[in-house]
Amino acid sequence: MAAPALARCMARTGVLPLGQAWGRAPRLPPSPLPAQRRAFSNNKVLVELDESAGVATMKFKSPPVNSLSLDFLTEFCISLEKLENDRACRGVILTSAVPKIFSSGLDITEMCGKSTEHYAEFWRAVQEMWLRLYSSNMVTVAAVNGSSPAGGCLIALTCDYRIMAENPKFSIGLNEAQLGIVAPFWFKDTFVNVVGHRVAESSLQLGSLHSAPEAHRIGLVDELVPEEKLKDRATAVMQQWLALPDHARQLTKTMMRKAVLDRLVAHREEDVQNFISFISKESIQKSLRMYMEMLKKKKS
Ligand SMILES: CC/C=C\C/C=C\C/C=C\CCC/C=C/C(=O)SCCNC(=O)CCNC(=O)[C@H](O)C(C)(C)COP(=O)(O)OP(=O)(O)OC[C@H]1O[C@@H](n2cnc3c(N)ncnc32)[C@H](O)[C@@H]1OP(=O)(O)O
């Protein structure tokens, strides 16, 4: 199904028509086939699968800043679903093909001056991305090779493990407060599960963007490595995680994440309505427009 048709279907039903995002049967190990590499790509996400290792790399390629537009989110979910259903794939490394940027977060233009129907469709796609990634049976490793504000940080937080390039220019964090908006409860829950309540509380209130060393110090990322070693390190970490039996690791992951996942699943439509009423406020629209203007001015 083409991305726009799929997006419409997601808007109608709230889920991708490819299967449920949570509560799947555990994955089986891949069959011992000869070493093989496969790649598939749509417009914004490139996937390379190394079948011998059972590991895929998903590269975001939506220049200039990998913003999470409706199209991006739809393609992301399709790619993840394909891998989830592929017995040859047990782990996925998420990274960026755009230099210096992992992802600039939700596409602000999707949240400005659009219809209620559009906001609902967009927000369901954001929820879907998070539900699928947080509940994935695969091992998920974020190789953060650039700045990663807000929704970009959420993607990294949603993975099992985060490795960041130790470039002092790269920053990461849930900076929503700086835009005059509020991170939803499930962004907050994911953040708390990684860094703990106290750090999350101050970081969220201040809308902090943390430099790579600071992010490592507060536990937002698990490791820092020189940029040129990021790929190899992500592959090595993946191998360590895949050395464990899938079923034990998957059941443990489910146990750790279930309460947070269930909370959104139980309140999904309410969360969509909250988003619509919040984002439609004139004061919020004004804040977002000013923020976009500030980004543009910064360039000139
Ligand atoms: C009581 C209430 C309770 C509950 C509330 C209910 C619901 C919640 C409501 C809302 C929740 C929303 C949650 C939102 C999450 C988000 O992710 S918001 C997005 C936050 N993102 C950012 O703040 C990042 C902004 N961008 C940057 O800081 C920089 O662009 C960068 C560091 C990523 C890259 O810097 P540069 O390389 O210097 O690139 P430029 O700044 O020149 O950007 C190039 C180009 O891209 C445009 N752009 C950048 N980011 C975005 C974006 N996120 N969306 C759309 N467009 C973006 C930028 O404007 C430039 O455009 P042009 O000028 O070239 O046209």
Give the per-residue pLDDT at 21: 41
CB-based contact 69:84 (threshold 8 Å): no
Classify residue 26: in a domain, yes or no. no
Closest CA to 33 of 56, 15, 51: 51
Where would I find the H helices in the chain?
3-13, 70-84, 116-134, 151-158, 185-195, 197-206, 212-217, 230-242, 246-266, 268-279, 282-299
Catalytic member of 14, 151, 173, 207: 151
**Quick check: 24 pLDDT over 60?**
no
Catalytic member of 176, 207, 261, 264: 176
**Quick check: 48 pLDDT over 50?**
yes
Residue 199's domain spans which residues?
A: 32-227+236-299
Pocket lined around ligand 1, Cβ cut-off 6 Å: 64-65, 67, 101, 104-109, 147, 149-151, 175-176, 179, 181-182, 184, 274-275, 278-279, 292, 295-296, 299
* Range 12-39 average pLDDT: 52
Residue closest by Cα to atom 23 of ligand 1: 149
Q: Which of 62, 65, 101, 147 to probe ligand 1 with, by most ligand atoms within 8 A of CB?
A: 65
Give the per-residue pLDDT at 20: 40
Classify residue 7: in a domain, yes or no. no
**Quick check: 7 pLDDT over 70?**
no
* Range 180-184 average pLDDT: 96
Q: Is the dihedral of CA 100, 157, 135, 244 positive or negative?
A: positive
For residue range 199-250, what is the model confidence (pLDDT) as tens digits?
999 999 999 999 999 999 999 999 999 999 999 999 999 999 999 999 999 9
Q: Taking each helix axis from N to C terminus, what angle separates 116-134 and 268-279, rounded to the nearest 10 degrees?
A: 130
Classify residue 169: in a domain, yes or no. yes
Q: Helix %, strand %, coil % for the chain, to 5?
A: 50, 15, 30
Classify residue 11: in a domain, yes or no. no
Classify residue 243: in a domain, yes or no. yes
Q: Atom of ligand 1 at shortest distance to CA of 274?
A: 6
Pairing of strands 139-144, 55-60: unpaired
Give the per-residue pLDDT at 67: 98
Report the number of distinct structural domains present in the chain: 1
Tokens of 40: 């598939």
**Quick check: 18 pLDDT over 60?**
no
Among the ranges given (9-18, 59-68, 157-166), the one the predictor scored with the smallest mean pLDDT: 9-18
Is 70 catalytic? The answer is: no
Catalytic member of 94, 175, 220, 224: 175
For residue range 123-171, what is the model confidence (pLDDT) as tens digits?
999 999 999 999 999 999 999 999 999 999 999 999 999 999 999 999 9
Global pTM exceeds 0.90: yes
Question: What is the C-alpha to C-alpha distance for residues 173 and 158, in angstroms, rounded to an integer?
Answer: 13
Give the per-residue pLDDT at 28: 54
Classify residue 1: in a domain, yes or no. no
Percent over 90 (pLDDT), the chain: 85
Residue 116: other Cβ atoms inside 10 A: 12
The CATH number assigned to the domain holding 69 equals 3.90.226.10
